[in-house]
Structure 1
């Protein structure tokens, strides 16, 4: 067995505490693997050369910044594990997968809602806008994550049920967001300043 295969097997059998402590080493970090300048709206990762980490380690482990994948991923509180997508095999993402992709100098983590020829329709779980992302922008796929210390595999029945329901109720969520936005606009016309705290 090659050294890389041994290292990979070791990572997969690590206890949670050891695996979590290895996060920052794999990401090549200091105290904050996310760097500076992350958007509050997108679930994104900046300041790290993720392509190099994926090529060298075969996985990327990090926390994220933003609320675009709420309620599944919480701002700076949960840990994601990304595996690279093997483009040479011709394998593509499927609806429901959470893709890691690059937009200029930012790395964004959003869900695939449609698969097209040469591109994907992608949207954050907590977003309204649908993005068109080319195959060449895709770097990897979320395979598991830790919500606090709770481990969640993206192949588990519970997780599959979650994203299917979440996509199915999209029209209701869209109506709610639009209604809340409209009510907020009306209230602001009368001087309401909003709630001054982080929403999540």
Structure 2
């Protein structure tokens, strides 16, 4: 999921904002964290990366090339993290501590804040991540079917 900055200094980077304010609040661009985050509708609260190792289920903000991405940690390894968006089926294996600049601490949906400590949020995260292989299989089949429909539509 790519991100879109709201407020703060529009010409500075997320790293600069986190160093200066400790928190950034923004809405997302993209669908990789659905159903948790609805594109251009929900607001995310990101705090600067804490010291030490992060935990399984943390949703982290990291930079890949010129893009900032918010995805979830599925596994903690000695050399880094296995990360994936909630609406993705492909995992990333090469994300390390220096890549991560912030951690999701809450979501504002329809004007109400949902902290990551909320029971409903924690329930969602456990169900969503613990059933990763089922969810990933369904998403993979849906993506293949969509590609096939597009391909068949172009061949007519």
TM-score, scaled to structure 2: 0.86
Gap regions ≥5 residues in structure 2: none
Deviating above 3 A after TM superposition, structure 1's stretches of 4 or more consecutive aligned residues are 181-189
The separation in 1 between residues aligned to 2:15 and 2:147, in whole angstroms, is 42
Deviation, 1:162, is: 0.5
**Match status 1:151 vs 2:151:** no
The separation in 1 between residues aligned to 2:18 and 2:141, in whole angstroms, is 41
Summarize deviations over 1:149-197 as a string: whole Å, max 9, x none. 12100011111110000012222222222333444455456x336xxxx
Write the mapping of 1:96-111 to structure 2, written as runs, cut at 5 A. 96-111=57-72
Write the mapping of 1:28-177 to structure 2, written as runs, cut at 5 A. 28-29=9-10, 48-87=12-51, 91-132=52-93, 133-177=95-139
**Match status 1:25 vs 2:7:** yes
**Match status 1:180 vs 2:142:** yes
Query: Is the strand fraction higher in 1 or 2?
Result: 2
TM-score, scaled to structure 1: 0.68
The structure showing larger relative contact order (alpha-carbon pairs under 8 Å, at least 6 residues apart) is 2
Given that 2:88 and 2:139 are in contact with CA atoms closer than 8 Å, whether structure 1 keeps it comes out as no
The separation in 1 between residues aligned to 2:107 and 2:56, in whole angstroms, is 18
- What is the alpha-carbon root mean square deviation over aligned residues? 2.0
